[in-house]
Structure 1
């Protein structure tokens, strides 16, 4: 049985960056909620988190369909 390891590529860098964005924007959203920041700030951090999670989901589904 041969085990292949994925090469470090743009895909892994992009995935890591998206996960980092999810973490940072999620924490920022939590802080803005607790600190009772203006609604627009809370909405922006929430939308950034949602966009990053959506991008991760789309990438995952495309990878499954292509057989990668």
Structure 2
């Protein structure tokens, strides 16, 4: 797993990319700093943060987060 910090809020997560489409994220900090996740209350969906997703995709493009099937 590779550390990635969100470019918007600075929250740090550990990321593993099994494929370009599959991303495993493990939070290492409280999600309260994230604007998109801090107010999430809908229990019927999996919460997501588009800013964190962008940070992870940037890490993949820069070679900082390897993709296992590539």
Indicate the structure (1 or 2) with the bigger Cα radius of gyration. Answer: 1
* TM-score (norm: length of structure 1): 0.33
Structure with the largest fraction of strand: 2
* TM-score (norm: length of structure 2): 0.32
